[in-house]
Chain A
Amino acid sequence: MTDIPSPAAGDLSLPAFQVPRRKPRLLDWFATKRVAPWVFLAPTLAFAVVFFVIPIIYAFWISLTRWDTLTPPVFVWFDNYKFLLTTDPVFWQTFWNTMYFAAASLVLGVPLAMALAYAFTRAKGQAVWRSLYWLPMITNVVAVAYIWKFIYDDRYGVLNRTLGLLGLGAPGWLTNPSLAMTSVVIVFVWMQLGHNMLLFSAGLSNIDESYYEAARLDGATEGQIFRKITVPLLMPTTLFVLITNFITGLSYFALMLALTDGNGGPLRATTTTGLYMYNMAFADLRMGRASAVAYILFAVILVVTLIQLRIFRRGGVEAH
């Protein structure tokens, strides 16, 4: 093709085979099997650099400075980490708040989700049940927070009015510092229940029906079947739900923020480490220290994540 002489002047029109080759040369090159995947990946790779790699490094650098965003940052090495871990009593308070929140959500939420999934998987009308149980999960956190603020209201909330009718006391759900975090946990469990129930019910439907039939033929009761067959075979799902919920719980703060007008009260009782970091950064403008909080919390979450990866690499993966 290359040794075809250029068309001579005269009555000959341009040879047909030369026409389509010329113009879209760059596009054709992009559309080759070798180059195309990089074109497809280009937006993702650009995003990964600007909004993933650089922020991780940048955040670490900020955490080594003292920076109020109005004056230039002052480099202070690891002073922020040292202050948070050794001097700042609030950091540890928020850390234990976070641990309580994450652990209590598991203790309250996982057995509930498991029991409901067990009933749900064997019930008729699954689409209806599912829609009802998923309503909280697809509701934005501001709506969830204000719905519950009205319910939890000390004097006129529907909860305390009902308790009053029953002749019971009226606890300050969100005003009593020793109760407030538990109230937040209840709302969080309510939000997450549909999600966890679905994960459990997916795990349950993976258990072969023949195990149950064999057990029934041997005269096992439903209680025995649940304890001896369902629970052990559901173990991988349970572990998955426990660990992912725990990780979510450790980094969560949107609900506390919306429920307490951002202050994590009363008396910091509902301030988790995430909320502490958020307010430190965007209300107090202490970017350096807040970034250090973020990195410490990230380190904790990383440890839990690595434990999760170890567990699931060792076995139980096939259940998912």
Chain B
Amino acid sequence: MAEVRSRTPAAIAGNVLKYGLLAIGAFVMVAPFLDMFLGALRTPAERLAQPPVYWPQTPQWGNFLRVFDELPMGKWMFNSVFQTLVITFLQLATSAMAGFALAKYRFPGRDFIFRSILGAQMFPFFLFLIPVFFILRYFPLAGGNNLFGTGGMGFLNSYWAIFLPFAVTWYGIFLMRQFFIGLPDELMDAARLDGAGEFRIFFQIALPLVKPGLVTLAIFVFVYQWNEVIWTMTVTRTATDLQTIPVGIYLLRGAFIDQSTHSLQQAALAISILPVVVTFLLLQRYYVRGLTAGAVKG
């Protein structure tokens, strides 16, 4: 039937319209990245010319290496990778455990906890910026603080200030619960009869069966956390050793004020995008699943 339709003039026009629209859209999506990429390859002279040269004569591939010499790119890169991996691990662990408990056990208060987790997602992140900042600052017995939370900097200026507020994700718990709920109870009961404790059931039986769910959540958290800027910037403004690539580029923007350093800025930005693009291209089908599961809650 598709073949018959594709021969009629109306169907051909429809195809032209369809692919034309998609192609124009795709161009608008991708062209800005090419503009940045061309910018990263220009020489300072090309930028200072009147008017500036758009297509670089000899592409300066060395700009991508120079950012590692002239900017703290290595440190930023380490921080981005380290922080993203730790938070991804933390969120997977807490989400899997809580999701498992809510999916596979009956206990008093379970429904209340689950409904609270759904409700917690309605609270916007900006509401937490100020109080969480000061909770970390005045945390008792942390970072030189005394029992009353004064005297030191608390968790500020340490990796804890980034890890702790991102240790749990409400959405992740919801997602993992959806995956665990599909597992048959008989599987767990059989293991119990064989004398397995609940932790063994979790680690050796349940967890391996929800691997697709874990991968979905991991990509989600990875992409989100790699790109997280507002909170990391807020708590690392004065702690340059903790800054990630995007935060570092933003806070060091004063260094890129003159035309000759713009190419370096654009090269650094290109590098900041690369890891997440690669991850995403390899694993995008899992991402689709997570996004549509997010819509399920309705």
Contacts and interface: CB of A to CB of B under 8 A. Distances in A.
A141 to B, nearest CB: 5
Given A48-B120, A140-B229, A253-B230, 13 more contacts: A36-B197, A44-B98, A44-B173, A55-B132, A69-B134, A116-B25, A119-B19, A136-B32, A138-B223, A142-B247, A146-B269, A155-B51, A156-B51
A190 B291 contact: no
A158 interface: yes
B126 A274 contact: yes
B36 A147 contact: yes
Contacts of A56: 123, 127, 131
Q: Which of A146, A290, A317 has the most CB of B within 10 A?
A: A146
Contacts, number: 253
Interface residues of A, number: 96
Closest 5 CB pairs of A and B: A31-B197, A36-B198, A55-B131, A40-B101, A140-B227
18 contacts: A31-B199, A36-B197, A36-B199, A38-B107, A43-B93, A51-B164, A55-B127, A62-B134, A120-B22, A140-B226, A150-B36, A151-B32, A199-B295, A254-B229, A254-B230, A294-B127, A298-B124, A305-B122
A316 B298 CA distance: 9
Nearest to B38: A158
Interface string B249-292: 11001000000001001100100110011001100100010011
B165 interface: yes
Contacts of B249: 142-143, 146
B148 interface: no
Given A43-B167, A133-B26, A156-B51, A32 B126 contact: no
Dominant secondary structure of chain A at its interface with chain B: helix
Interface of B: 10, 14, 17-19, 21-22, 25-26, 28-30, 32-33, 35-36, 39, 51-52, 54, 93-94, 97-98, 100-102, 105, 107, 110, 113, 116, 120, 122-132, 134-135, 164-165, 167-168, 173, 192, 197-200, 202, 223, 226-227, 229-230, 234, 237, 245-247, 249-250, 253, 262, 265-266, 269, 272-273, 276-277, 280-281, 284, 288, 291-292, 295-298
Given A36-B105, A59-B131, A222-B14, A146 B97 contact: no
A147 B229 contact: no
A123 B18 contact: yes
Interface of A: 27-28, 30-34, 36-41, 43-45, 47-48, 50-52, 54-56, 58-59, 62, 69, 112, 115-116, 119-120, 122-123, 127, 129-136, 138-143, 146-148, 150-151, 155-156, 158, 161, 190, 193-195, 198-199, 202, 221-222, 237, 240, 247, 251, 253-254, 257-258, 261, 274, 277-278, 281-282, 287, 290-291, 294-295, 297-298, 301-302, 305, 312, 316-317, 320
